[in-house]
Amino acid sequence: MLFVSQVFIFVFLPISVIGFYAMRRTLGNRAALAWLFGASLFFYGYNYPPYVLLILASYTINFLGARRLQQTGSRSLLVLMIGLNLGYLGYFKYFNFFVDNLNSMLGLHMPNGHIALPLGISFYTFQQIPYLVGAYQRQFHNVGFLKYCVVNSFFPHLIAGPIIWHREIAPQLERAATERFNAADFARGVTFFSIGLFKKIIIADNLAYLVDDIFGAVEGGHAQLTFGDSWLGAVAYGLQIYFDFSGYSEMAIGLALMFGIRFPINFFSPYKATSIIEFWRRWHMTMTRFFQEYVYVPLQFAIGRRSEWTGFRYLIIFIMMFLVGLWHGAGWTWVVWGSAHGLLLVINHLWRAGRSLAGVPYNPQRRLLAGRVFGWVLTFFAVMACWVVFRAKDFASAQVFYQAMFFAGGVRLPESAVGLLGLDAWRILSGLGVTFEGEWLSTFISTKYSALQLASVFALVAFVALMPNTIQLMGYFTPVRSTQAFCAPADALVDWAKLPNWRPTWIWVALTSVLFAAPLTSILDDSAKTVFIYFNF
């Protein structure tokens, strides 16, 4: 079931919310949790009921394993349980990938399993690993099966995150099932949901038409990309995936607030980042937190204590990002995307280490505005360039993009530039392989893209780089938010904390109504098909 579907918005959500509070008021805490668990299972199995059996099996095995870990503290059992989860994920997500690559490398003809990928398997599997580690460390006591299942299956985060941890949500569920109804939190949740809905339907889905047109033409083998076409496609996709996934995360925050639960923040203006390090502190923050705590730290401990090589830290960063890429999907394009970000992170860390050795330690709050702007430009275009291989169907398609983006096919300038540059400059540039042909616009971008499309992309880039984000506007902060200092150029000019944020006033009621009503035409159109990008992962 999709958050943006008619059945979810007009049937499932009202019944779930009313039923939860009615159960809590009349039958008590346990009945309310049971209702929430049943609603979440219905939500998950709505389109394909057999997946409910898989998720129930996963919950049962992990709960029993965690209970045994609490009793014994056995490290071998912990390794076995984590291995079972990774094997479960690996079978459904990577079995066919492994078989296809084995056949290709060794010339074999092993049949693949034609295995369907269950929705949200990467998210709900990873959410159980922290619980197993916590049980091994004896952090949890007297956690019943129902509460365990409700935490993991709570429908707002079940399919595409954020990746939540039991220790954060379980205490809130206890309070949510006993405290009085909080009208302010409920209203804040409705506003969050409406903003996310607007982001997804109005912005991300409309960007999808432009992105699919550019990438689809390349994948079909009948496109000659100009420099502008390639960058337009890359930036448009970067905006699409941001508004799509951050929209989902904000809808999830809003839905949780309707039940009295506060989810961790998953996005904090990632396209304001002035370095790759800062980008990953702002993008998909709950996933980054998971890999830092359960990949980076254990590898640092395991390798660092056995190695005298000071560069092991950079190797671990690269390995972690390689796994981040692999987590996103069973395909080499995603692996290359993760590895590219790993390489960029290593370069960024080496740059900071070099500055420290030179006696110029990195201090984001003391950077000049010009330095912040330069860092933002470099980071933004590096991230956009990496999105190409993430979105491309295969490496051949990505190659077409990169050749156009970085002038691998040669530099082309319009004919009229000859008069502006002069004959001497023309001779020099021609000798360097620069060609002069066509008009100004057609030289850089295909005329089939309208001025409105181009203006929309430029406006959205300015918006994500300069304006406050939803978290700031809503005044929604949680202890999980990264404490690292950010240094975006816009944040250097404006203190967003001093701006008025959300209040339960008639102005916000009107704004929320507009944001909710704007996507309704698309939602009510049965022919309009929409899906969240991260459902693929």
For 195-226, the pLDDT digits (tens) are: 999 999 999 999 999 999 889 888 877 667 77
**20-34 as b/e: b if 16+ CB within 10 A:** bbebbeeeeeebbbe
| Tokens describing residue 94 | 């990577």
At residue 86, the pLDDT reads 92
Average pLDDT over residues 285-296: 92
Average pLDDT over residues 368-397: 92
Average pLDDT, the chain: 86
At residue 333, the pLDDT reads 94
pLDDT above 70 covers what percent of the chain?
A: 88
In 416-537, DSSP assigns E strands to: 435-436
Please enumerate, as own/partner, the contacts of 518-521 that have beta carbons within 8 Å and a separation of 24 or more.
518/198, 518/201, 518/202, 519/4, 519/197, 519/198, 519/200, 519/201, 519/202
CB 133 within 8 A of CB 78: yes
At residue 253, the pLDDT reads 95
At residue 173, the pLDDT reads 82
pTM equals: 0.91
Integer Cα distance of 161 and 477 in angstroms: 18
User: Among 260-264, 325-329, 524-528, which stretch is predicted with the lowest mean pLDDT?
Assistant: 524-528
At residue 365, the pLDDT reads 67
For 231-280, the pLDDT digits (tens) are: 999 999 999 999 999 999 999 999 999 999 999 999 999 999 999 999 99
- Percentages helix, strand, coil for the chain, rounded to the nearest 5? 70, 0, 30
pLDDT at 283 over 50: yes
The DSSP H or E segment spanning 413 is strand 412-413
Task: Give the single-character DSSP code of 9.
Answer: I
Q: Is 412 helix (H, G, I), strand (E, B) or coil?
A: strand
User: Among 12-21, 134-143, 208-217, 445-454, which stretch is predicted with the lowest mean pLDDT?
Assistant: 445-454
Q: Is 72 helix (H, G, I), strand (E, B) or coil?
A: helix
Check residues 484 and 184 and name the one with the higher pLDDT: 184
Instruction: Report, as residue numbers or ranges, the catalytic residues.
Output: 328
Q: Which of 10, 17, 43 is nearest to 32 (CA)?
A: 17
At residue 483, the pLDDT reads 42
At residue 64, the pLDDT reads 94
Task: Give the single-character DSSP code of 111.
Answer: P
DSSP 476-507: ---TTS--SPP--HHHHH--GGGS----SSHH
- Count other Cβ atoms within 10 Å, centred on residue 238: 28
For 429-480, the pLDDT digits (tens) are: 777 667 766 655 555 666 677 778 889 999 999 999 988 899 988 988 765 4
